[in-house]
Structure 1
């Protein structure tokens, strides 16, 4: 999948260039140019949203205001885009997977994506196409759901130690699900090899040399979520966010959403914060490299944030993250666990939100930076103050119910 010419390997950054306080590391991006991407624009997003809007059950997910928390943390407003409501699947990933499958079917039939009728497209094939992917859970769920909705077949591979609840959820959508004995990145390689051997279509949300088209479609599919949020913000108070906080694994979602919002608002008009789990902080390591080169993180990549536990950046979205990302943060699991508890147990007047491990990372991060003295300098560095309007994406709900209860009910991983 990757080669020595594509990725550098992680090495310690210069000590004077990084700030580290306990559970957080933050690096300001010296490679930022403000250049936007033609792959991720409001015009492209119109096409993805038109496609999603024809899917039965589509409706924009809620954008939830947390005024009491905003007052407590000393910012003007906090808005959370709550993807736990997306198509009843408890996560946002179906946006990317469904759009990629739609584009693949359209390409196979020599049609424009706008000509694909999801209700009848399966009738145009003698036998179903087989789509395969590697996943930590949510992406595979989205691919399985989309394949079933379009009358096709899905085979999903998951890395070792994947929760049984995720396996059962994917199988419940009619897909085959195989748990491997290797980490996420090696599971991607296995899925790719199996697809090549069987003539299946790989639908993966990261890219490498010779495999760029489908990952691009997946990231473009995520722009529907960003477009909805922008419209909802305009309806609420007409203001655009001053801070956009995005969590990242390979960077497929973060890049697509950041690209859209940079095109919609202008990258000079907001500050972006890209956060990752400490065990798999490949984007943080990339922006810490000498020349801003993509840098892989190796090992087991163990984190409660399974959806973000990816060690190799996506080369499709790395350019927009490098060019428009302001600050990159590497965070311990305790930060995400705290975010889950905050969302699920809100201050009086704020609604409760069910945020999973990956989805809650940035609420935990915002809370730590604005409420703990030891992180005050990091908040200042990111420009968080009483005028800040913060947009956060809760990308998943309780997709691992057992672990959710251990963290939110039993207080696992305290800050």
Structure 2
């Protein structure tokens, strides 16, 4: 019997895998989770999906307590002291995505991007991808920015404190970026996220909505990308960096211009159809 806490994608993956192997999966989701994300996990065969009265990090603790009480296996993509083995496996899984991205860039004639923007919740995805890039590119590592919701930016706040240790976010935890709504860094990946990025960005919700709109309404000749709230923040941040005059100094320090090659990874589709439709209904940004 597996149990996990999730804002969406991770829990769907755990439930899908559990059913595939004839196991049970109990999935806990934080308060405020939209019904479409709950139903998506039910649809892939979860034994039970429960929306709690807590935000993500306390939902993780609640699921872990039930795992300990029942002898179930906790499958979580964040780590804490004494719980690191399974999160490490999950982080290693993310490196597959990074490897494929590097190979696809080579097919396009790009040895390395100039900039990579990686979104973070606890930092498992961002740390796994960045870890692969560090090992692959070595001294030629592209500039990397870690992007988070400004209401729950634990990696950003840890970088600001700058004492070498991870710190929990002090924000409100109120954001449309549900998949990034995580207040405590993953201990497995934090050292990588501490040591290698050139910048950290705490982004208001409108930034990811800009990204959703830009990807969903591409210029002529570009492919449409249906990207949800937690997947589009990189595109929104790139737009702000290149178009917002208040960020001109940061743009210059990053060396961003019309020739720059930027790698973005969309980690979520249209998981909240109502909000997605609302964003895409706008005629302009």
Alignment of 1:398 with 2:246, yes or no, is: no
Which structure has the higher relative contact order (CA within 8 Å, separation 6+)? 1
Shift of the alpha carbon at 1:310?
0.4
Distance, in Å, in 2 between the alignment partners of 1:212 and 1:237 is 38
Shift of the alpha carbon at 1:299?
5.8
Any idea what SS the aligned residue of 1:280 has? coil
Alignment of 1:155 with 2:10, yes or no, is: no
Alignment of 1:185 with 2:57, yes or no, is: yes
Alignment of 1:138 with 2:18, yes or no, is: no
Report the counterpart of residue 126 of structure 2 in structure 1: 254
Residues 203 and 214 of structure 1 are in contact (CA less than 8 Å); yes or no, is this contact kept in structure 2?
A: yes
List structure 1 segments (4+ residues) > 2 angstroms apart after TM superposition: none
| TM-score, length-scaled by structure 2 | 0.96
Distance, in Å, in 2 between the alignment partners of 1:191 and 1:387 is 47
Report the counterpart of residue 178 of structure 2 in structure 1: 306
Unaligned 5+ runs, structure 2 = none
Residues 150 and 171 of structure 2 are in contact (CA less than 8 Å); yes or no, is this contact kept in structure 1?
A: no
Report the counterpart of residue 40 of structure 2 in structure 1: 169
CA deviations 1:308-359 (Å, max 9, x no partner) are 0100000100011111111111110000000000000011111111011111
Which residue, out of 103, 113, 117, partners 1:231?
103
Unaligned 5+ runs, structure 1 = 1-129
Distance, in Å, in 2 between the alignment partners of 1:137 and 1:179 is 11
Distance, in Å, in 2 between the alignment partners of 1:407 and 1:373 is 24
Q: What RMSD, in angstroms, separates the aligned Cα atoms of the two structures?
A: 1.4
Distance, in Å, in 2 between the alignment partners of 1:169 and 1:194 is 23
Q: How many residues align?
A: 284
Residues 205 and 214 of structure 1 are in contact (CA less than 8 Å); yes or no, is this contact kept in structure 2?
A: yes
Residues 267 and 324 of structure 1 are in contact (CA less than 8 Å); yes or no, is this contact kept in structure 2?
A: no
Distance, in Å, in 1 between the alignment partners of 2:267 and 2:125 is 9
Any idea what SS the aligned residue of 1:260 has? helix
Distance, in Å, in 2 between the alignment partners of 1:204 and 1:330 is 24
Report the counterpart of residue 198 of structure 1 in structure 2: 70
Residues 295 and 312 of structure 1 are in contact (CA less than 8 Å); yes or no, is this contact kept in structure 2?
A: yes
Distance, in Å, in 1 between the alignment partners of 2:172 and 2:63 is 18
Counterparts in 2 of 1:238 and 1:383: CA distance versus 1, 3 Å: closer
Between Structure 1 and Structure 2, whose CA radius of gyration is higher?
A: 1
Distance, in Å, in 2 between the alignment partners of 1:262 and 1:230 is 12
Does 379-388 or 346-355 show the bigger shift?
Answer: 379-388
Any idea what SS the aligned residue of 2:50 has? strand
| TM-score, length-scaled by structure 1 | 0.67
Distance, in Å, in 2 between the alignment partners of 1:269 and 1:297 is 28
Q: What aligned pairs does 1:289-304 form with structure 2 within 5 A after superposition?
A: 289-298=161-170, 300-304=172-176
